[in-house]
C-alpha cells in the first residue's frame, strides 16, 4: 500500500511539474527540453549559470530561429532573436508588454515599489512624475557635484600610484560612483573614494552580493509561484538601513527641497505636487477609454525611488566604466587616442572638467558605447505578456502570463550585426547613423520602459573616465586576466568574479 502511495505521489508531482511543458511544441516553436518542476532553470536555481548565460547559449544554438521557447518552472518563456519582434514588444505593441515582472509584494518589501521594479499603473504614474527629474537642464545643474567627485578620484589615483599602481579598478570605479550617487542622490558626503571601508561602500557590496541561500530562494520564487506568498527575500537589515538613512535626509530638509539640486531635492519637489493622476494602462471604462487612476507618493514610495537611484546608479556605471578600462589596458592604441582627445578638449576649457567638455569627447563616447556593447550591465530585458497577443512575424499567438526575454548580451555580440564582435573597436560607433544598430544595441533598453536615468549615468561615467584618463593610464598587472569570469549568481545585472585587477600609472605627456 505504501509503495502505491509513493508511486501515486511521484506521478502527481511529475505531471504537476510538467503540466505546461508542451506549450511551445504545440505552437510549432522550437524549445529546449525542460526538466520536470525546474523547466530550463535547474542550473540557474543552484547558482551555476546566470539567466544571461543560459539565454545566450540558446540564442547561439538556434541561429535560424526568430524565437526560442523555454520554461521557468512551468511558466513558458520566449527568447526573442529577431530585431523586428524585439521592436514590436518593446515599443510598437508596448501596451501588451508593459510588465517587467521583476517586482514582488511591496507590502512585504516596500523598497521594491520603485520605478525599476514597479509594474502596471504604479510604474506608469511613477514614470510620469519622475521623467521631469532627468531633463538636460537638471543634468547640467548636477554636474558640479560630479566635478567634486572627479577631483577626489585624482587624489586616490596618486595614492595608488605611490604604492606601486596595483589596484582593483572595479572597486575604484565603484567607490567613485558611490561617492557621486551619495552627493548627487542623497546630498551625503560618503567619502567612499578616500575610505575603501566606508559603510556606504560596504552596503553597496552587500546589495549585490548573492549567497547560495539567496540564489536558491530567488530560484524557488521564480520556479514555484505557489511559494511566493510565503517568501520575503529582501534583506531586512539593508531595508532598515536605507529607510532610516533616507528618512534622516528628508527630516534634515524638513521634507522640502534644499537648493542642492540633487535627486532628493527633485523627488521632494515632485512629491510636494500631491497626488499623481493619469490614464490607467491596466483598466478601461465600458466605452474602451482608459480609467483615471491616482497615486499618493507617501514617504516609503519616495524612499523607494531614492533607493533605486543609489543601487542601480552605482552598480551599472561602475561595472561599465571598469570594463572599459580593462579593455583599454589591452588596447593601448585606443587608450592613447582617447587621451589625446581628452587633452585637446580640456585645453579649450582651461583644463577643467565641465559638462560641455564631456559632450565634445566623441571618441571617448564611442569607446564607452563599445564597452557597453561587449558587456552590457543588463544581460537581458524581461517583459510579461499582459493580453493575448499574436506575433505577426511567425503567426503565433501567446497568452497572458508568458514571459519574454530579450537577450541583449547575445544580440550585441552576434557577428550578424557586429563584425568581429569579440574585438574592442570604438570606430563602429563613430558617426553611427541613428538606426544603424536599431533594436540590436540596447544597453539601456528601448521604448517606454527604457532606463529613465540613462543620460545621467552616461554623463557620470564619461566624466569619471575623462578625469581618470587625463591624469593616468591603465595597464595589465600581474594579476590581470584577459578573459573575465562572469558571476553566475547575478541575474538582473552582470558582474565579474575576483574584481578587475589593473595597474594605474601616471601619464607621460
Instruction: Let me know the angle formed at the C-alpha of 298 by 240 and 137, rounded to the nearest 5 degrees.
Output: 100
Is residue 409 within 8 Å of 84, Cβ to Cβ? no
CA 92 – CA 86 distance, rounded (Å): 9
Handedness of CA 241, 460, 353, 197 (dihedral sign): positive
Rg of the chain on CA atoms, in Å: 24
| DSSP symbol at 31 | B
Other CB atoms within 10 A of residue 310 CB = 22
**Distant-in-sequence, close-in-space partners of 504: CB < 8 Å, separation ≥ 6:** 157, 160, 161, 165, 167, 169, 472, 473, 474
> 321: which 3 cell numbers?
566604466
Determine which helix (DSSP H) or strand (DSSP E) holds 384, and give its type and residue range: strand 381-384
Is residue 249 within 8 Å of 127, Cβ to Cβ? no
Residue 184 is assigned to a ligand binding site:
no
CA 84 – CA 99 distance, rounded (Å): 20
The residue with cell 531633463 is 135
CA 265 – CA 257 distance, rounded (Å): 4
Cβ burial of 120 (10 Å; 0-12, 13-18, 19+) is: middle
Instruction: Let me know the angle formed at the C-alpha of 207 by 145 and 370, rounded to the nearest 5 degrees.
Output: 60
Is residue 74 within 8 Å of 41, Cβ to Cβ? no
Handedness of CA 267, 271, 276, 282 (dihedral sign): positive
Determine which helix (DSSP H) or strand (DSSP E) holds 71, and give its type and residue range: strand 67-72
Q: How far is the first Cα of the chain from the last one, in angstroms, to the nearest whole number?
A: 86
CA 309 – CA 123 distance, rounded (Å): 15
Handedness of CA 332, 474, 482, 463 (dihedral sign): negative
Alpha helices in 331-453 (DSSP H): 332-348, 355-359, 362-374, 408-412
Torsion of CA 480, 325, 173, 195, to 10 degrees: 50
b/e sequence 313-334, b meaning 16+ C-beta within 10 Å: bbbbbbbbbbbbbbbbbebeeb
> 265: which 3 cell numbers?
531635492
Please report, in range form, the residues annotated as the binding site.
451
Positions at the binding site for heme: 451
Amino acid at each position: 500500500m505504501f509503495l502505491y502511495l509513493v508511486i501515486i505521489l511521484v506521478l502527481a508531482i511529475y505531471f504537476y511539474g510538467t503540466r505546461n511543458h508542451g506549450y511551445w511544441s504545440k505552437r510549432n516553436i522550437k524549445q529546449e527540453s525542460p526538466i520536470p518542476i525546474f523547466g530550463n532553470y535547474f542550473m540557474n536555481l543552484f547558482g551555476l549559470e546566470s539567466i544571461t548565460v543560459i539565454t545566450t547559449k540558446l540564442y547561439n544554438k538556434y541561429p535560424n530561429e526568430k524565437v526560442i521557447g523555454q520554461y521557468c518552472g512551468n511558466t513558458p518563456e520566449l527568447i526573442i532573436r529577431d530585431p523586428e519582434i524585439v521592436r514590436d514588444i518593446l515599443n510598437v505593441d508596448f501596451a501588451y508588454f508593459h510588465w517587467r515582472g521583476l517586482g514582488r509584494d511591496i507590502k512585504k518589501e516596500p523598497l521594491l515599489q520603485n520605478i525599476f521594479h514597479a509594474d502596471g499603473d504604479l510604474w506608469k504614474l511613477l514614470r510620469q512624475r519622475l521623467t521631469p527629474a532627468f531633463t538636460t537642464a537638471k543634468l547640467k545643474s548636477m554636474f558640479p557635484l560630479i566635478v567634486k567627485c572627479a577631483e577626489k578620484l585624482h587624489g586616490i589615483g596618486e595614492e595608488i600610484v605611490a604604492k606601486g599602481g596595483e589596484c582593483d579598478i572595479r572597486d575604484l570605479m565603484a567607490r567613485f560612483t558611490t561617492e557621486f550617487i551619495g552627493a548627487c542622490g542623497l546630498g551625503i558626503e560618503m567619502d567612499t573614494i578616500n575610505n575603501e571601508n566606508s559603510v556606504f561602500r560596504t552596503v553597496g557590496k552587500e546589495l549585490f552580493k548573492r549567497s547560495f541561500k539567496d540564489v536558491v530562494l530567488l530560484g524557488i520564487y521564480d520556479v514555484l509561484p505557489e511559494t511566493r506568498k510565503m517568501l520575503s527575500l529582501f534583506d531586512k537589515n539593508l531595508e532598515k538601513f536605507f529607510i532610516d538613512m533616507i528618512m534622516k535626509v528628508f527630516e534634515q530638509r524638513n521634507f522640502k527641497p534644499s537648493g542642492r539640486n540633487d535627486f532628493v531635492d527633485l523627488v521632494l519637489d515632485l512629491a510636494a505636487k500631491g497626488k499623481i493622476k493619469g490614464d490607467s494602462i491596466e483598466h478601461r471604462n465600458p466605452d474602451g477609454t482608459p480609467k483615471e487612476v491616482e497615486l499618493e507618493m507617501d514617504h516609503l514610495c519616495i524612499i523607494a525611488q531614492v533607493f533605486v537611484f543609489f543601487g542601480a546608479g552605482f552598480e551599472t556605471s561602475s561595472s561599465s566604466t571598469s570594463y572599459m578600462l580593462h579593455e583599454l589596458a589591452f588596447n593601448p592604441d585606443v587608450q592613447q587616442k582617447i587621451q589625446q582627445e581628452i587633452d585637446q578638449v580640456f585645453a579649450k576649457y582651461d583644463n577643467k572638467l565641465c559638462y560641455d567638455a564631456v559632450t565634445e569627447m566623441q571618441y571617448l563616447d564611442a569607446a564607452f558605447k563599445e564597452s557597453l556593447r561587449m558587456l552590457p550591465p543588463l544581460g537581458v530585458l524581461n517583459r510579461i505578456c499582459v493580453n493575448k497577443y499574436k506575433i505577426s512575424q511567425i503567426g503565433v499567438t501567446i497568452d497572458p502570463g508568458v514571459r519574454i526575454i530579450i537577450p541583449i548580451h547575445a544580440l550585441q555580440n552576434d557577428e550578424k550585426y557586429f563584425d568581429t564582435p569579440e574585438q574592442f573597436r570604438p570606430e563602429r560607433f563613430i558617426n553611427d547613423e541613428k538606426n544603424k544598430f536599431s533594436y540590436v544595441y540596447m544597453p539601456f533598453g528601448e521604448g517606454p520602459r527604457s532606463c529613465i536615468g540613462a543620460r545621467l549615468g552616461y554623463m557620470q561615467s564619461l566624466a569619471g573616465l575623462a578625469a581618470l584618463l587625463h591624469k593616468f593610464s591603465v595597464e595589465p598587472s600581474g594579476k590581470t586576466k584577459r578573459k573575465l569570469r562572469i558571476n553566475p549568481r547575478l541575474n538582473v545585472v552582470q558582474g565579474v568574479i575576483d574584481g578587475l585587477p589593473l595597474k594605474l600609472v601616471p601619464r607621460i605627456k
